[in-house]
Chain A
Amino acid sequence: MSSIELKVPDIGGSTKVPVIEILVKVGDEIKKDQGLITLESDKATMEVPASAAGTVKELRVKLGDEMSEGDVIAILESGEATVEKPAAAVVENKTPAPVVAVSATPVGLAKDNSDITCQIVVLGAGPGGYTAAFRAADLGMDVVLVERYAQLGGVCLNVGCIPSKALLHAAEVIEEAKHAADYGVSFSEAKIDLAKLRTHKEKVVGTLVSGLTGMAKQRKVRTVTGIGKFISPNQLEIETATGKQILGFKQCIIAAGSQPVKLPGFPWEDPRVMDSTDALMLHDIPKSLLVIGGGIIGLEMATVYRSLGSEVTVVELAEQLMPGADKDLVKPLADRLKKASVAIHLKTRAAKVEAKKDGIHVGFEGAAPEKTIYDRVLVAVGRAPNGGKLNAQLAGVSVTERGFIPVDRQMRTNVPHIFAIGDLVGNPMLAHKSTHEGKLAAEVASGEKREWVARVIPSVAYTDPEIAWVGVTETEAKEKNLQIGVGKFPWAASGRAIGIGRTEGFTKLIFDEATHRIIGGGIVGVNAGDLISEVVLAIEMGCEAGDIGHSIHPHPTLGESIGMAAEVYEGTITDLYIPKKK
């Protein structure tokens, strides 16, 4: 005795043909060629005959289902079949899966070999992934969230934004205390209990992660811990601690993120050579630290380790720190780092890195630092998307050579029922971009008519001072010969900035000359990352300079500087004296 799947035969190429009649029921003894169901295409009605005799064990269709060639109608227990394996005992010789599976319809989903089935699976539980999962659940979908690590939250929560900010806060306090002596408040030298600092960081992360886990439960989002890879357009294979599981889905959101670029030829096996994840572990406070890469991540970690007492050297390949930001925004940070005796070497490459007993030996090209031996080296030269690690080709999803997954404005990949979001759909790799995309993908998947409408994504470096920018930069405007006007307000004229002793900052707004509408902005200074939000809102709303200048900003705040910068552009500022041109 063995089971046979009775499938829909060639029905003239019609797909999704509705079932208008079911002629058998479970338990029926049927003969070969006996009618099973009646289908009605736009051309004709047709009876689907049984391709073998036996007892109907299971019916896989119901009235109104839409069927295509190869879909399973019923499972038959047959005395005649000689094949042992049920799955292989397929009567039709054609391989039915691909046709059916690519369509996003429910049919063909109920693959008997799936251990778990769901309406939508989200692959990756970073900020984009959990947002997508939660939004999908809130929209009434049955969601499974697959995450390789036991904790939800991905890079951002566990080894990125959140722990780094916890450490940066410590750094800030240390610096504040140091400078308090300037206004007559002296503290003794900071004593650092590294274990306690680590615990604090982990507590911060833990609070958020447990919050996520709780919210997943409340929303009835099932989570599966393991590494998921595609095995078909409707199935993932998940390698869990307890073995492999097959998950069948109707729709999928790929949110598998990115990971730090590991430069080849570096002695990665040596723990003293770190990526950003390692650096956040805070194993020790190295006496000397080389940071390779003067971007946001490199400079944030440089700030942390410098405050904790390391002697920090930064090498950057480009001709400015934080490529992408306007040069003037970066200068106050570069000055401050220099003052804190962080050595910065631009247009410099770490060409050769060797791990020796006395330290990591580094050979440089370009404006090489004198020091060539470091206790630790942090490599922060960017992140690489994980698109290439998912066997996406088995689902028919195209992946670029670099590992990005191309999507449209609705976050759909080339396979319409599979979406992708976050770092692996393209730069910038930012959590707040990913969450926005995750929400969008979930809404589209649930049938809402949505697409990407945001025009700008802010970037923030949580260095000391912070640097934040959004929209058109002066550099881009110059390159493209755009007709712009700039309103720049130096914090030296801000009472608040003077009060906290941080006058190195400034706020600048960039306007379209033709319409006076704001198209960009950059802020450097304390809390720049918080201040930039107003600029983002203004750009999205299409504010004119006058809209910003004539909105009352509270005094004395750093936020005021945004209103003032608009007034500088308009020529109505009174907190500065700007001699009239001619």
Chain B
Amino acid sequence: MSVLKEVKVPDIGGHKNVPVIEVLVKVGDTVKKDQGLITLESDKATMEVPAPFAGIVRELKVKLGDEISEGDIALVIEAADETVSSTKPAVQEVAAPKKADPPAASEEKIVAPVAVVSISTPVPAGNPVRTPPVSFDADALMPANVPYASPAVRVFARELGVDLAKVKGSERGGRISKADVQQFVKAALVSGVASSGGGSGLNLIPWPQVDFAKYGAIESLPLSRIKKISGANLARNWAMIPHVTQNDEADITEMDLFRKKLAEEHKDVKVTPLVFMMKAVVAALKKYPNFNASLEGDNLILKKYFHIGIAVDTPDGLVVPVIRDVDKKGLLELAQELAVISAKARDKKLGPNDMQGGCFSISSLGGIGGTGFTPIINAPEVAILGVSKSQIKPVWNGSEFTPRLMLPLSLSYDHRVIDGAAAARFASFLTQSLADLRQLLL
């Protein structure tokens, strides 16, 4: 006799209320273990929730647009290959929150958050599809679903463009007064954050409107989700961080010989120049701790750990998985980890955990070409290293020109945190380390 099991949302890196952007199965579908069930989209990445076991989908508890968090029940699967003879309700078979709860109650408890959150999904504004335009049923009326504010306060908030759902009411029971709305606006003005949750109040002229089709054939392709997300992040970072890029060259002739030797000795791992750069960067971060930092208001947060983000190009766009504790790992271990995580990135299997906690990022175009570029800092980090293609160049060694393999490095830094001299020192320490790997042992 098979058993109904609930599939819950796994650890999604502490994100809450992550929207479901795709439901990949339907009731009645037979699913294999690890088959994708639903796709979630956090502000960092999209991720699939895989089936923890094989079976038949019996019930879908989520729908498109629902916002769910870790532990929410996504669906119910009738597990195949279960030999449990018990006919007790499904809930008891799964790790219910409390054994003592009667099944019905605990089921309700688990289901509720999903339901409540889905209710609050706003009707898309400016997209008139329904008649009447406003819902008059309980969903639009129950105190749990609506801001606690009188009609006059609602009108007032609309006038100021304030989303009442974001306003904390100061009156009894959290009731929102006119003064609360005013206070909210004042606070938003002071902190420079627009009420729409946008950004920086850049007073930009409108984007140029061009009818491209007028000038020849065109095709319109929607941006991938990753492109849209990373695009928004890049735009914010570029607009808000005063970037300066320090260019330098590292002599990696010796390093490359060593790398080739390593590669020959360890055919099972692909040892790329990138792992050397990661080690060198960690050494530089240790020497110049301001580079391993984040700006938080008037404070600089210094990090005592060394997690390095690596920009990886995927068919859908740019992602930045993070390799943790680079300082504690050897070159081969890093090479292995890098191979695994790059493959994961290309297969879209990266979870938010894989992309969190970075201290400093490296973006390498060395495999492709170029002599230098301006990488955009991955906020809230304060610097990023861009790597271009190495070339054999004649280098004056004091008495003659010798052919050396030179690697162009471009270090973009947040000028609010780092000044030019420090950046020059950091870059030159980096080039020295790469030129003479023994430096890394010091």
Contacts and interface: CB of A to CB of B under 8 A. Distances in A.
Interface of A: 13-15, 42, 400, 404-409, 411-414, 425-428, 448-457, 471-472, 476-477, 480, 482, 512, 514-515, 517, 519-520, 539-542, 544
Interface string B314-344: 0000000000000000000000000000000
B131 A411 contact: no
B155 A450 contact: yes
Contacts of B125: 408-409
B159 A426 contact: no
Contacts of A476: 137-138
Contacts of A472: 137-138, 141-142
B161 A449 contact: yes
A426 B133 contact: yes
Interface string B202-245: 00010011110010000000000000000000000000000000
A454 B158 contact: no
Given A455-B140, A517-B143, A542-B149, A13 B128 contact: no
Interface in B103-151: 123, 125-134, 136-144, 146, 148-151
Nearest to A42: B205
Please provide the 8 A-B residue pairs with the shortest distance between their CB atoms, ordered closest to farther: A426-B132, A426-B131, A453-B154, A404-B131, A406-B128, A13-B211, A408-B128, A515-B143
B155 A482 contact: no
Contacts of B211: 13
Contact of B214 (A13, A408, A448, A449): A13
Contact of B151 (A454, A482, A520): A454
Nearest to B136: A457
Contacts of A455: 136, 140-141, 146
Contacts of A407: 128, 131, 133
A480 B159 contact: no
A450 B128 contact: no
A519 B133 contact: no
A477 B138 contact: yes
B133 A452 contact: yes
Nearest to A511: B143
A450 B159 contact: yes
Given A453-B154, A453-B158, A542 B148 contact: yes
Contact of A13 (B137, B149, B160, B209): B209
Nearest to B176: A542
Contacts of A515: 143, 173
Interface of B is mostly: loop
B175 interface: yes
B158 A450 contact: yes
Given A542-B149, A542-B150, A405 B158 contact: no
B142 A482 contact: yes
Contacts of B134: 409, 452, 454
A453 B155 contact: yes
Instruction: Using C-beta atoms within 8 Å of the partner chain, give the interface range for chain B.
Output: 35 or more
Contacts of B144: 512, 514
Contact of B131 (A15, A409, A425, A540): A425
Interface of B: 123, 125-134, 136-144, 146, 148-151, 154-155, 158-161, 173, 175, 205, 208-211, 214
B370 to A, nearest CB: 33
Contact of A480 (B129, B130, B138): B138
A299 B214 CA distance: 62
B161 A540 contact: no
B126 A408 contact: yes
Contacts, number: 103
Given A412-B128, A453-B154, 13 more contacts: A13-B209, A404-B131, A406-B130, A406-B133, A408-B125, A409-B123, A409-B134, A425-B131, A456-B136, A456-B141, A515-B173, A540-B151, A542-B143
B128 A519 contact: no
Contacts of A448: 159
Contacts of A482: 138, 142
Given A449-B158, A450-B155, A540-B150, A405 B142 contact: no
B201 to A, nearest CB: 19
B132 A414 contact: no
Contacts of B209: 13-15
A480 B145 CA distance: 14
Q: Is the interface of A mostly helix, strand, loop or mixed?
A: loop
Contact of A539 (B130, B141, B205): B141
A454 B135 CA distance: 10
A539 B205 CA distance: 44
B353 to A, nearest CB: 35
Contacts of A405: 131
A485 to B, nearest CB: 13
B172 to A, nearest CB: 9
B207 to A, nearest CB: 11
A449 B125 CA distance: 14
Contacts of A544: 173
Nearest to B131: A426
B300 to A, nearest CB: 41
Contact of A409 (B133, B137, B175): B133
A279 to B, nearest CB: 27
Contacts of B158: 449-451, 453
Contacts of A406: 128-131, 133
A430 to B, nearest CB: 11
Contacts of B133: 406-409, 411, 425-426, 452
B138 A400 contact: no
A532 to B, nearest CB: 15
A425 B132 contact: yes
Contacts of A519: 138, 141-143
Given A408-B125, A425-B131, A515-B143, A449 B159 contact: yes
B136 A408 contact: no
A477 B142 CA distance: 10
Contacts of A542: 143, 148-150, 175
21 contacts: A13-B214, A42-B208, A406-B128, A406-B129, A406-B131, A407-B133, A408-B133, A409-B123, A409-B133, A427-B132, A452-B133, A454-B151, A472-B141, A472-B142, A476-B137, A477-B138, A480-B139, A512-B142, A515-B143, A539-B141, A541-B150
A448 B210 CA distance: 31
B313 to A, nearest CB: 35
A184 B407 CA distance: 112
Residue from the set B137, B138, B151, B211 with the largest chain A CB neighbour count within 10 Å? B138
Nearest to A399: B131
A434 B211 CA distance: 40
B248 to A, nearest CB: 40
A404 B140 CA distance: 22
B46 to A, nearest CB: 30
A428 B134 CA distance: 11
Contacts of A427: 131-132
B127 to A, nearest CB: 7
A414 B130 CA distance: 12
A97 to B, nearest CB: 18
Contacts of B140: 455
A230 B130 CA distance: 23
Nearest to A403: B131
A250 B277 CA distance: 65
Nearest to B156: A453
Nearest to B127: A408
A212 B160 CA distance: 34
A514 B112 CA distance: 14
